[in-house]
Amino acid sequence: MERSSETQAVRAEPERSPEQLALPAEPERSPEQLALPAEPERPLERLAPPAEAERSLESTAHVARGFQPSEAIAVDAPDLRLTSPGIRLAQVKEELIAWVKTLVSAAVYAILIVTFGFQIARVEGQSMAPTLEDQDRLVVNKLVYRIGEPRRGDIVMLYYPLNPEKSFVKRVIAEEGDTVRIVDGRVYVNDIPLKDDYVPTEFRSHDDWGPQVIPEGYYFVMGDHRNNSSDSRHWGMVPKKYIIGKVQLRWWPVPSARMF
């Protein structure tokens, strides 16, 4: 009796086919896995045609370089205007004309300066020593006497009255209307001894001259080297029109350069 009860407690298992016996059992899923939605299927991407792919690559390459295709063409293309022989010749002509204009302008300015403004002069001889020495280079201001008059003590450049083709450098001693007298080398202007400390003792003369009144429009000039100078004591007064200008600067030699 006990065996028959055990037999009733065991359920009979249904029979399986050979295919069902070969398949593995499906694993059990957790509640979270059962709640997740199924992933949708993605459609297959369409392949671009070869021509479109090449254009895409070209655009990408230009963007990476940082400029547009049209800009690259503009930079690489040669400027035909600069290589034209006719245009080059025209440019050369323009440059030559510009240079000629510059040179002509400089020559005109130089002529105007020399004619009306300043002149470079060179001392020859010792008649103005020790103030000016032989071969000193000077700048002569020609404009100053166009707006003013020579004054006593001015060092001037003048035309030699007996031969205006020559020019001398002398010092103005007396103006028009003054009375000049020289006694044993001592100069008096209007009976007042001339202050001529610039003349060393060994350079003084011992001659006598005058007295004489300087006529209107004339000047009495002398060299600072009194015993070695040809001046108004020998060839007379100098008309104002023969006075070229005032010695403004000695620029050579450089160590002894000075203004007057």
Which of 95-104, 223-232, 233-242 has the lowest average pLDDT? Answer: 95-104
Task: Band the pLDDT of 19: cuts 50, 70, 90.
Answer: very low
In a domain, 58, yes or no: no
| Structural domain contains residue 36 | no
Residue 244 lies in a domain: yes
The verdict on residue 249 lying in a domain is: yes
Interval 223-244 mean pLDDT:
96
Question: Mean pLDDT of all residues in the chain?
Answer: 78
Q: Region 186-196: what's the mean pLDDT?
A: 96
pLDDT in tens, 143-155: 999 999 999 999 9
* Choice among 55-64, 95-104, 133-142, 235-244 with the minimum mean pLDDT: 55-64
Given a cut of 70, whether residue 222 has pLDDT beyond it is: yes
Q: Which residue has the higher pLDDT, 110 or 209?
A: 209
Residue 168 lies in a domain: yes
pLDDT score, position 180: 98
How confident is residue 103, by pLDDT bands cut at 50, 70 and 90? confident
Fill in the amino acid letter for 230: S
Q: How far apart are the first and last CA of the chain?
A: 162
Listed in sequence order, the residues at least 6 apart from 239 whose beta carbon sits closer than 8 Å to its beta carbon are 161, 217, 218
Q: Is residue 199 part of a domain?
A: yes
Q: Looking at residue 212, which CATH number applies to its domain? A: 2.10.109.10
Most confident of 9-18, 111-120, 183-192: 183-192
Asked, for residue 128, whether it belongs to a domain, the answer is: yes
Q: Would you place residue 22 in the very low, low, confident or very high pLDDT band (cuts 50, 70, 90)?
A: very low
Asked if the structure places residue 66 within a domain, the reply is no
Domain that holds residue 156: 119-254
Beta carbons of 207 and 182 less than 8 angstroms apart? yes
How far does CA 126 lie from the centroid of its chain? 42
Percent of the chain with pLDDT over 70: 65
Q: Which residues are catalytic, by number?
A: 127, 170
Task: Give the count of domains, the chain.
Answer: 1
Q: Give the pLDDT band of residue 42 (cuts 50, 70, 90).
A: low
More confident residue, 67 or 249: 249
Q: For 26-37, give the DSSP string.
A: PPPPPHHHHHSP
Burial of residue 118 (number of CB atoms within 10 Å: 0-12, 13-18, 19+): middle
